[in-house]
């Protein structure tokens, strides 16, 4: 009896700390410790320009991870985000550079290409009843292939200045991608935590049969979830292309790894049911700080791949250990 | 006109004929017991009524309106609630969200419909209190509750929106004796309020104590449909196990 009351008390304590945003305390601690270590190892780490640098590099896979949060909390997975990023960027660049369409057509093209590819994922997963893992793994190859075919394997340089501003502009000294990331996160947080769409995504991950029995249109919802993930991959593709002023068919290689890691680090349950955009943002920052810190410490990029992969496995393992709380699976 | 009328309902899963033309009806304010062996098609039949499955033939009419082709949300809207055997709860969400699952209360903020958790919690609290269920808090994660408490949440969800027919799939299977009485009392209360109940149960004593009529399902078809006072425990058991099936009688001498 005593143990159950303390359990309930600690649960409510946790809930109160986490608040509506449901950020895991552990994620914040990891981020803080990581920042402290990096600051101790490198003088340059805490400079304003470096912090902005971290935020800037976080913005692209941060946007991907936000879409991933919706998909993972519905007990799905989207492995195709990196490839959709590349395909969208190439399409946006081709529309403006090769076809001489105006800048807004490039933006719409990026987003539409991403959303459409995501919709195809969702359509195959629901209508074809193929597991998300397989569909999006296939799309990882297909979308990348299309990006290479369309661009003939070479970068497409020269975007309109308005598009480039999205990647390189600095209104009020803050890089535009960072502002876009924060606005996207804000909208996504409201969507995930405070609307039916977001709650149903989590309920589907929690108990799909219950969601269906209670009148949630599960199939329609899933199609929308993968379309959203695709749309955000398109947005990430736009930001990436704008930042380097070119559509790059090999952009975003293995970004799905970074996005999934950021999502899991942020406390979204790998097996669905519970997700947090604010947490994902923290997770993305952890990845950004890690990459930046390793760069500052002049660690060869090859080791960064090892670090990211190891962090993913570690994050899931820690989640497993702490999952004895009952309401996590 | 009966409240619920099933005529020749069929459902197949691949080569398996789960329902082979089920016909029976439920009047308003009556309790119908649906019994049968495992695999007789009870749960399939109920899921066909609630729209989780679509029938492959036959018709289901509720208050004279066909339910065929409607989705579970529309059928709940029409006034049919079901308490599933697995309770169909989202265990990582709080009690209030579960009670309002599929029918969330919203408030409009600059044109966006946001879920009104505060109002949902207040109303869930009232509902739980009215049922006399003891749950620590409606803000509690449902998965942290005991089995009996989780069942109370599922029952509260079914009764919150003024249903006219409540289907209960094995509501007493996992309960302690006192809790069983509580559920049976609840069924009597619903009946007194004019709400129809379909009770699926393996516990024949429960069925006999609350039901007005007992329908026996065997191999996807109704093989007995009698008023409780016109039948007996032995007769029902005989129907369930198939001792009354004419072709089977001589088959095993």
Query: Would A74 be classed as within a structural domain?
Result: yes
Q: Categorize the per-residue pLDDT at B243 as very low, low, confident or very high, splitting at 50, 70 and 90.
A: confident
Is A274 at the interface with chain B, CB within 8 A? yes
Our measurement of the distance from residue A204's CA atom to the centroid of its chain's CA atoms, rounded to an integer in Å, reads 20
Does the pLDDT of residue A15 top 80, yes or no?
Answer: no
Q: Assess B73–A contact: CB distance below 8 Å, yes or no.
A: yes
Name the domain count of chain A.
Answer: 1
Answer whether A239's CB lies under 8 Å from A63's CB: yes
How large is the angle between the packed helices A176-194 and A218-244, nearest 10 degrees? 170
Residue A143 lies inside a defined structural domain of this protein: yes
A9 CA to chain B: closest CA distance, Å? Answer: 11
- Whether A8 contacts chain B with CB within 8 A: yes
Tell me the pLDDT tens digit for each residue of B52-88: 999 999 999 999 999 999 999 999 999 999 999 899 9
Is A28 part of a structural domain of the chain?
no
**A82-111 average pLDDT score:** 95
Contact flag B141-A8 (C-beta cutoff 8 Å): no
Task: Return the pLDDT at A23.
Answer: 67
Contact call for A196 and B104, based on CB within 8 A: yes
Q: Is residue A31 part of a domain?
A: no
Q: Which of B201, B197, B237 is nearest to B42 (CA)?
A: B201
Residue in the block written with tokens 């619920």: B4
Residue A283 sits in a domain whose CATH number is: 1.10.3470
Q: pLDDT-based confidence at A37, cuts 50/70/90?
A: very high
So what's the pLDDT on residue A166? 94
Give the chain A residue nearest B50 (alpha carbons). A213
Residues of A within 8 A of B91 (CB-CB) are 206-207, 273, 327
- Residue B250 pLDDT: 40
- Alpha carbon distance A187, A250 (integer Å): 29
For chain A, give the percent of residues with pLDDT over 90: 72
A221 touches chain B (CB under 8 A): no
Band of pLDDT at residue A252, cut at 50, 70 and 90? very high
pLDDT tier for residue B161 given thresholds of 50, 70 and 90: confident
The tally of CA atoms less than 13 A away on the side-chain side of residue B187 is 28
pLDDT above 70: residue B34: yes
The alpha carbon of residue A272 is apart from the nearest alpha carbon of chain B, in Å, by: 10
Nearest by Cα to A237 from A133, A118, A138, A72: A118
Whether the pLDDT of residue A112 is over 60: the answer is yes
The ipTM value here is 0.88
A14 touches chain B (CB under 8 A): no
pLDDT tens per residue, range A121-160: 999 999 999 999 999 999 999 999 999 999 999 999 989 9
Partner-chain residue, chosen from B91, B115, B143, that has the shortest CB–CB distance to A196 = B115
Q: What is the pLDDT of residue A5?
A: 42
Amino acid A323: pLDDT: 60
Contacts of range B71-75, beta carbons closer than 8 Å, 24 or more positions apart: B71/A215, B71/A217, B72/A212, B72/A213, B72/A214, B72/A215, B73/A214, B73/A215, B73/A216, B73/A217, B73/B102, B74/A215, B75/A215, B75/B49, B75/B50, B75/B51
Which residue range is the domain that position A109 belongs to? 47-319
- Mean pLDDT, rounded, of chain B: 90
CA–CA gap between residue A316 and residue B19 (Å, rounded)? 44
Between residues A329 and B118, which one has the greater pLDDT?
B118
Percentage of residues in chain B having pLDDT higher than 90: 68
Give the pLDDT score at A4: 42
Least confident of B89-103, B163-177, B208-222: B163-177
CB atoms A190 and B112 under 8 Å: yes
A10 contact B CB<8A: no
Please say whether the dihedral angle defined by the alpha carbons of residues A259, A264, A265 and A266, taken in this order, is positive or negative. positive
Q: Which residues of B touch A212 (CB under 8 A)?
A: 52, 72
- Rounded Cα gap, residues A275 and B237, in angstroms: 49
Chain B residue numbers touching A217 (CB-CB < 8 A)? 71, 73
Phi first, then psi, for residue A172 (nearest 5°) are 55, 25
User: If you average pLDDT over residues A284-304, what whole number do you get?
Assistant: 90
Residues of chain B contacting A15 with CB distance shorter than 8 Å? 139
Average pLDDT of the residues in A172-194: 95
pLDDT beyond 70 at A22? no
| B106-155 per-position pLDDT tens digit | 999 888 899 999 999 999 999 888 888 888 899 999 999 988 889 889 99
Report the CATH number of the B26-55+66-79+163-253 domain. 3.40.50.300
Per-residue confidence band for A324, with pLDDT thresholds at 50, 70 and 90: low
Strand order in the sheet with B4-13: B16-26, B4-13, B57-62, B65-66
What chain A residue is nearest to B46 in terms of C-alpha separation? A213
A206·B113 Cβ contact <8 A = no
Model confidence at B200, in pLDDT bands (50, 70, 90)? very high
- Is residue A35 pLDDT above 70, yes or no? yes
Contacts of A156 (CB under 8 A, 6+ apart): A90, A93, A94, A97, A98, A246, A247
pLDDT of A321 strictly over 50: yes
Residue A278 lies in a domain: yes
Tell me if chain A has a CB within 8 Å of the CB of B173: no
List of chain B residues whose C-beta atoms are within 8 Å of the C-beta of residue A276: none
Interface test with B, best of A12, A327, A328 (most B CBs within 10 A): A327
Non-local (6+) Cβ contacts of B112 within 8 A are A190, A195
Q: Does A267 touch chain B (CB under 8 A)?
A: no
Which residue on chain A is closest to B75 by alpha carbon?
Answer: A215
**How open is the CA angle B118-B123-B125, to the nearest 5 degrees?**
95
Domain ranges of chain B: 26-55+66-79+163-253, 89-161
The whole-angstrom separation of Cα B24 and Cα B48 is 14
Kindly identify which residue of chain A lies nearest to residue B81, measuring between CA atoms: A214
Give the three-class secondary structure for B66.
strand
* Residue contacts between A and B (CB atoms, under 8 Å): 93
In the predicted structure, residue A308 carries a pLDDT above the cut 90: no
Q: What is each CA distance from B67 to A177, B7, B17, B52, B59, in whole angstroms?
A: 51, 12, 21, 12, 8
B104–A199 CB contact, under 8 Å: yes
């Amino acid at each position: 009896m005593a143990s159950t009351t303390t359990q309930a008390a600690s649960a409510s304590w946790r809930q109160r700390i986490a608040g509506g945003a449901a950020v895991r305390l552990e994620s914040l601690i990891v981020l803080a410790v990581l920042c402290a270590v990096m600051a101790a190892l490198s003088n340059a780490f805490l400079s304003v320009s470096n912090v902005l640098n971290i935020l800037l590099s976080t913005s692209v896979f941060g946007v991907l991870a936000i879409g991933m949060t919706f998909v993972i909390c519905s007990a799905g997975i989207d492995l195709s985000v990196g490839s959709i990023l590349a395909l969208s960027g190439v399409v946006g660049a081709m529309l403006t550079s090769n076809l001489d369409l105006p800048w807004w057509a490039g933006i719409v093209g990026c987003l539409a290409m991403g959303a459409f590819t995501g919709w195809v994922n969702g359509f195959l997963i629901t209508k074809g009843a193929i597991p998300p893992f397989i569909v999006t793994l296939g799309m990882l190859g297909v979308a990348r292939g299309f990006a290479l075919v369309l661009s003939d394997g070479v970068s497409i340089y020269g975007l309109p200045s308005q598009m480039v501003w999205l990647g390189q502009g600095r209104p009020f000294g803050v890089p535009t991608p960072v502002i876009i990331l924060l606005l996207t996160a804000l909208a996504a947080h409201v969507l995930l935590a405070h609307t039916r769409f977001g709650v149903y995504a989590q309920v589907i991950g929690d108990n799909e049969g219950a969601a269906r029995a209670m009148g949630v249109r599960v199939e329609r919802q899933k199609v929308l979830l993968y379309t959203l993930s695709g749309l955000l991959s398109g947005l990430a593709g736009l930001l990436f292309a704008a930042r380097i002023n070119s559509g790059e068919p090999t952009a975003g290689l293995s970004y799905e790894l970074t996005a999934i890691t950021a999502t899991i680090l942020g406390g979204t349950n790998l097996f669905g049911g519970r997700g947090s955009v604010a947490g994902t943002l923290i997770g993305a920052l952890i990845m950004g700080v890690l990459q930046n810190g390793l760069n500052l410490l002049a660690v060869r990029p090859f080791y960064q791949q090892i670090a990211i992969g190891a962090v993913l496995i570690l994050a899931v393992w820690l989640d497993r250990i702490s999952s004895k709380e009952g309401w996590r699976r | 006109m009966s409240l619920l009328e099933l005529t020749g309902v069929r459902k197949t899963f691949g080569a398996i004929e789960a329902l082979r033309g089920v016909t029976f009806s439920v009047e308003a304010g009556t309790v119908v017991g649906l019994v049968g062996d495992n695999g007789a098609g009870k749960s399939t039949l109920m899921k066909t009524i609630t729209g989780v499955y679509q029938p492959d033939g036959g018709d289901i009419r509720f208050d004279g309106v066909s339910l065929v082709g409607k989705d579970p949300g529309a059928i709940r809207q029409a006034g049919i609630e079901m308490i599933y055997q697995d309770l169909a709860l989202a265990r990582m969400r709080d009690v209030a969200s579960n009670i309002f699952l599929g029918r969330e209360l919203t408030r409009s903020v600059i044109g966006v419909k946001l879920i009104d958790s505060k109002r949902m919690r207040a109303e869930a609290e009232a509902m739980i209190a009215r049922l006399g269920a003891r749950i620590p808090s409606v803000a509690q994660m449902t998965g942290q509750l005991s089995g009996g408490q989780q069942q109370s949440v599922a029952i509260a969800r079914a009764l919150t929106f003024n249903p006219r027919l409540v289907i209960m799939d094995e509501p007493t299977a996992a309960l302690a004796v006192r809790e069983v009485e509580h559920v049976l009392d609840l069924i009597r209360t619903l009946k007194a309020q004019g709400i129809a109940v379909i009770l699926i149960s393996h516990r024949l004593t429960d069925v006999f104590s609350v039901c007005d009529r007992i329908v026996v399902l065997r191999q996807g078809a109704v093989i007995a449909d009698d008023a409780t006072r016109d039948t007996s425990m032995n007769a029902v058991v005989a129907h369930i196990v198939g001792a009354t099936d004419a072709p089977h009688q001589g088959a095993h001498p």
